[in-house]
């Protein structure tokens, strides 16, 4: 005898967003500044492109991946006459924490559209959560600044408090549990990195990649707006091409564009579609 499970056809229950580059810190610049300063202090040349490559991962893991890059690894061996090991990673992570904390405070402005999105979700009874590759110590520095601006998600999950960080689904699933959702199909994960999108896909959720405000473009809002129209369009188009292979269900410029996507996902859910 076969049993059949009825497909979920209800409304969205939760939106789970990344922090830097998605709902705060336009351009995701705080982590990059901290990593560049960290490696400069070690006498190691690190480019912004290299610093951005592991973005989305937990920050100690981010350091490990940077040190595994052949160019960085070669510099380290020349500088210290040995390859980097776990003790080096631990030392760098300890040095990274105050650098990142300072950068977070400097880059704590909400991305335009965040408060309007929060109000819309509240109006529609959709829970709001965030997760991040930052540690709890880093997030605790950021949250008061976000609350001062009126942004107050119900669930905040960090990579160091789950068994595995991104691209494992653990953070998004912990958000879903804390938000009390009944099915992951009713959740949307919004992120500006391919690793964060993979996290959402692994959690069985709808995924939305933000491009213009995030890691793929990597410019502050004033810098992006200062470009002439053609160059700005080119940079954003390059960002879309970079994020397209992530497998996100939708790609948008910023979270200001998210309401239309949520409406479309609601329509798809109503017909029994799954992520």
Residue 7: both structure tokens together:
């497909």
Report percent pLDDT > 70 for the chain: 98
62: β partners: none
CA distance linking residue 244 with residue 251, whole number of Å: 8
pLDDT at residue 2, as a whole number: 44
Q: Per-residue pLDDT for 132 more than 80? A: yes
Residues 215, 28 contacting (CB under 8 angstroms): yes
- Kindly report, residue by residue over 212-259, the tens digit of the pLDDT: 999 999 999 999 999 999 999 999 999 999 999 999 999 999 999 999
pTM over 0.85: yes
- Domain 30-106 in CATH 1.10.150.240: yes
Pairing of strands 250-252, 155-158: unpaired
Return the beta strands (E) in 203-256 as ranges. 206-210, 250-252
Residues 193, 215 contacting (CB under 8 angstroms): yes
Work out the pLDDT band at 62, boundaries 50, 70, 90: very high
Task: Please state which CATH number belongs to domain 14-28+108-270.
Answer: 3.40.50.1000
- The set of catalytic residues is 18, 59
- Kindly report, residue by residue over 172-205, the tens digit of the pLDDT: 999 999 999 999 999 999 999 999 999 999 999 9
Q: Which of 177, 171, 221 shows the shortest CA–CA distance to 191? A: 171
pLDDT at residue 5, as a whole number: 57
Q: Hey, where are the domains in the chain?
A: 14-28+108-270, 30-106
């Amino acid at each position: 005898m076969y049993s059949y499970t009825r497909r979920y056809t209800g409304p969205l229950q939760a939106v789970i967003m990344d922090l830097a580059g998605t709902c705060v810190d336009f351009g995701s610049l705080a982590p990059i500044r901290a990593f560049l300063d960290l490696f400069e202090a070690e006498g190691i040349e690190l480019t912004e492109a290299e610093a951005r490559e592991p973005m989305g991962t937990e920050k100690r893991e981010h350091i490990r991946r940077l040190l595994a890059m052949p160019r960085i690894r070669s510099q380290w061996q020349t500088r210290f006459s040995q390859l980097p090991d776990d003790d080096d990673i631990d030392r760098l992570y300890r040095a990274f924490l105050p650098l990142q904390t300072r950068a977070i405070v400097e880059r704590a402005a909400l991305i335009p559209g965040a408060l309007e999105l929060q109000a819309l979700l509240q109006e529609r009874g959709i829970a709001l959560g965030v997760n991040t590759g930052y540690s709890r110590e880093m997030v605790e520095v950021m949250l008061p600044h976000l609350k001062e601006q009126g942004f107050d998600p119900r669930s905040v999950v960090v990579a160091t408090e789950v068994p595995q960080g991104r691209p494992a689904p653990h953070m998004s699933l912990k958000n879903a549990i804390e938000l009390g959702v009944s099915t992951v199909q009713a959740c949307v994960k919004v992120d500006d990195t391919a690793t964060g999108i993979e996290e959402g896909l692994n959690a069985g959720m709808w995924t939305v990649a933000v491009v213009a405000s995030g890691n793929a473009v990597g410019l502050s809002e004033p810098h992006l707006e200062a470009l002439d129209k053609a160059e700005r369009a080119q940079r954003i188009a390059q960002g879309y091409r970079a994020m397209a292979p992530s497998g996100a269900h939708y790609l948008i410029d910023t979270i200001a564009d998210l309401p239309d996507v949520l409406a479309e996902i609601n329509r798809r859910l109503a017909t029994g579609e799954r992520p």
